[in-house]
Every structure is written in structure tokens, then in C-alpha cells.
Amino acid sequence: MSRGKTGHWVSTILVNGLLLIGVYLLAMPYIFMIASTFKPNSELFAFPVRILPDALYLENYRYLFAEYPFWGWYWNTAFTTVIRTVLAMFFSALAGYALAKYEFRLKRAIFLLIIISLMLPFQVLLTPLFIQMATFQWLDTYWAVIVPFAISPFFIFLMRQYMLGVPTELMDAARIDGCTEFGIFWRVVAPIMQPAFAVVGILAFTGAWTDYLWPLIVLQSTENFVLNIGIASMFGPYRVPYGSILAGSFLATLPVVVFFLIMQRQFIAGLTAGALKG
């Protein structure tokens, strides 16, 4: 028994030690970035490297807000991200509901096309999407950033897998009570699917907030930039405000971190439940 207890403690210490090392390696760059926002350039490039600043230096934030339309970029990112997230959750839930609970012609073919589309890298779609946005005259507008991502094959697949576990008897009972088909979805099915909505919401929100390649292609005006494009544009040919760039990067990460911390329980529950559906 003593050997067994000793082995258990040794394995626990080793596992926790490895986890602490992993946390340190993952968190230290973020901590260094936050601390560097309060350093002048002379401290940023000092050797040996110091994590904490010698004094609280706020000039990086002042320069960021005074010289660049940072809050405008923040608003553009927040607006497009929220709209993309809401549309992705709504349309993927409707499509997943239909594929899981209704029988109609070409259902299997449509689902097969959705699965096939998951295998296509986004780079393959860049040219046709750009031509489509130009045809609609949506270049350099919010429409070009929002509409192409309002429906995602992966989110449809995820919602379908979760919908398969929703009891059909609940839907039949609602029909007997005279509920419409959309009413069944909205009043009966949607409340049950909160974990799935949390998973799709977090993934859609994170993907929209951190999107760089597509906004870089379709947005041209500085006032229409999202955060990622705006921060990248701060790199000038003659002067690079590294401290302000780090300050903008830190502020840009806050919504994603806060959103995930709020939704992490539902996110984990949704992933676990979706993985068990057949």
C-alpha cells in the first residue's frame, strides 16, 4: 500500500510539474507583452531582458490613441464580429436542425456537400469570393467582411451532431399543442441547445475577431480597418512604435479572453455533448 501511495504522489507531482511548465511557457509571452506596453523603446530592447518595467510609462497608450483611429478600428471589429457571430449561430442552428430532424429530398447529398466543403482551404475560395464582392460592389464595406461568413459548414455539422440528441418526442408534443415549426425550434429546441450555441459562439467570435487575411483583401480605407489590419498598418518605413503596437495588441486580445472566461463552462459542455452524438 505504501508503494502504491508513493507512486501516486510521484505521478501527481510530475503531472502537476509538467502542467505548471506548460502554463508558464504559454502565459509568459502574454505577460511580457502586457508589461512591455509600459516600457519605452530603450527598455524594450535592453539586455539582459527584464519582464517588469522600471517605471509606469503611459506614453505608448497616449501615442496610440492620439496618432491612430484606434477606437474606430475597435468599433469596426466589434460590430462585424458581433454580427458575424449572431448570424453564424442562427443560420447554422437552423440548418443543423433541418438536417437532423427533417426528412426531405437530397438530404444526404446536401450533407455530403457540407462535409466536402470542410476539406476546402479558405485560400481556394479567395479569388471567387473577391470577384463576388466586387460584383456586388461591397468592397471596402462591412458587407464584405460579414456576409461570406454568415454560414459555416463546420458550424452546421456541429449543430447537426448536437441536434441528433434532442428528443423528437418534445417536437411531437409541441406540434400537438399547435406550435409552428419555427416556434418548435425557437421555444423548444433552442433552449436545450445552449451548450452548442456556446461552442459555435466562441468559435465564431474568436474567428471573426482574429480574422486578418480576408479583411486585408477587401478593406482599403483606413477608417474602415479592423483591429488586426489597423495594428499592422502602424509599422511605418521610418518609425515603428513598438510600445504602441504592443499596447494595441494587448487591448485587442481582451474581448476574446473575457468572452471565453464567461462562456468556458458552456463551451466545454457543448464540446463533450457534441462528441457523444452519433
**106-122 confidence digits (pLDDT tens):** 889 999 999 998 888 88
pLDDT above 60 for 274: no
Least confident window among 48-52, 83-87, 156-160: 48-52
CB neighbour class for 256 (10 Å; exposed up to 12, middle 13-18, buried from 19): middle
Kind and range of the H or E run holding 70: helix 70-101
Gap between the Cα atoms of 197 and 86, Å rounded: 10
| pLDDT recorded at residue 4 | 59
Q: How confident is the model at residue 269 (pLDDT cuts 50, 70, 90)?
A: low
Q: How far apart are CA 258 and CA 267, in angstroms?
A: 13
**Tens-place pLDDT, residues 239-251:** 888 889 999 999 9
Average pLDDT value over all residues in the chain: 87
The better pLDDT of the pair 260, 248 is held by 248
pLDDT value of residue 71: 93
The confidence score (pLDDT) of residue 277 equals 47
Average pLDDT rounded to a whole number, residues 218-234? 92
Split at pLDDT 50, 70, 90, the class of 208 is very high
* 53-57, 82-86, 133-137, 264-268: the lowest-pLDDT one: 264-268
pLDDT for 49 equals 78
Q: Which residues contact 122 (CB under 8 A, 6 or more apart)?
A: 213, 214
Q: What is the pLDDT of residue 209?
A: 93
Per-residue model confidence (pLDDT) at position 156: 93
215: pLDDT strictly greater than 90:
yes
pLDDT for 82 beyond 90: yes
Those residues whose C-beta lies under 8 Å from the C-beta of residue 81, and which sit 6 or more positions away, are 205, 208, 209, 255
CB of 179 closer than 8 Å to CB of 187? yes
Q: Whole-prediction pTM value?
A: 0.83
* pLDDT given for residue 270 in this prediction: 60
